[in-house]
Amino acid sequence: MSGSGIGIGPRPGVATGSGVRDTPVRDTAVGDLARAGAAGATAGAGAAKPASRPTGAARASIGASAAASAAATTAISAAARAGAAGEPTETAPSGSGVDRRPAPGSRQVVLWRHGRTAWNLERRFQGQTDIPLDEVGVAQAERAARVLAGLGPSVIVASDLIRATRTAETLARLTDLPVSLDEGLRETYAGRWQGLDDDEIRARYADEFEAFRRGERVRRGGGELESEVADRVVPAILRGLEKVPPGGTLVVATHGGAARVALGRMMGLPEELWGALGGLSNCCWSVLGEARAGWRLLEHNAGSLLEPVIGDDE
């Protein structure tokens, strides 16, 4: 079964995008990143803090190109203040501009990418093709689940594609929680690109490929736009949050591209800056914390030592 899959048709949603892995960041506000960019940072900002979890230092990979850094600074700060819902953000008494105080009874959302598949290893674009975890992917999921179980999750939701479902089930066994499947959490549908490796995509769809790499809005393979993916992924996350009590944690087992666009939308970033968020390594996760207005990025690409990102969302 490894390396083969069943194609699943298009759904309204967003395409996965490219990201640049840079400086590890942990518990860093978007506003802090913007201020660092204005000061002359060329590719992301932040410092790794020691993790209190058994696996050691959590890693993060928020990246932005040097050319985009200064131009993105003002937009990121403004978007962070606006929040995911477009509401004005309360400012802290210090006048820092971004209120980093948690909301009373604030909840957390853990966006957890699935374990490795044979197609990840072969650098084939998976999209919504239903590819299972390989042996390494199963081991990754089991290891990550032991860490995430320590968070005491309240609710687990997952994409109904088997690689995400099987990843979520490893955590469910440790926590005795059910897994709710939601097709809204599926990866980007990429039409003709699905099943092709990087070289094949470049050879057959050179113009489309280069346009996407430049950050243009592209229906890769005739599939979904990134904004369309966010349109279905974020509501699926919010449906899961309805079941989470104050102070609780929602774990969302999903896909790299789906997770990235959800982060951008929920943090209130303009779509043209979503590519500044680096991709997730297999079975790593990002954490959003509920703030007084909108959502704040607490961790990105955490859960293991720094690993290369292989898959659709490089």
Give me the phi and psi of 219, to 5 degrees please. Answer: -90, 90
Give me the phi and psi of 156, to 5 degrees please. Answer: -120, 125
Between the CA of residue 265 and those of 203, 281, 288, what are the distances in Å? 32, 20, 12
Say whether 114 is catalytic. Answer: yes
Among 156, 153, 89, 112, residue whose Cα is nearest residue 262: 112
Q: Of the listed 90, 114, 242, 290, which one is catalytic?
A: 114
Q: Of the listed 87, 187, 208, 210, which one is catalytic?
A: 187
Instruction: Determine contact, residues 274/264, Cβ cutoff 8 Å.
Output: yes
The H-or-E segment that residue 179 falls in is strand 179-181
Among 168, 142, 132, residue whose Cα is nearest residue 251: 168
Give me the phi and psi of 163, to 5 degrees please. Answer: -65, -35
Instruction: Determine contact, residues 62/277, Cβ cutoff 8 Å.
Output: yes
Say whether 255 is catalytic. Answer: no
Q: What angle do CA 238, 241, 245 make, to 5 degrees?
A: 155
d(CA 51, CA 32): 20
No. of H helices and E strands in the chain? Answer: 9, 6
d(CA 263, CA 260): 5
Token representation of residue 192: 């003709």
Instruction: Determine contact, residues 146/103, Cβ cutoff 8 Å.
Output: no
d(CA 279, CA 99): 26
Query: Which residues are catalytic, by number?
Result: 114, 187
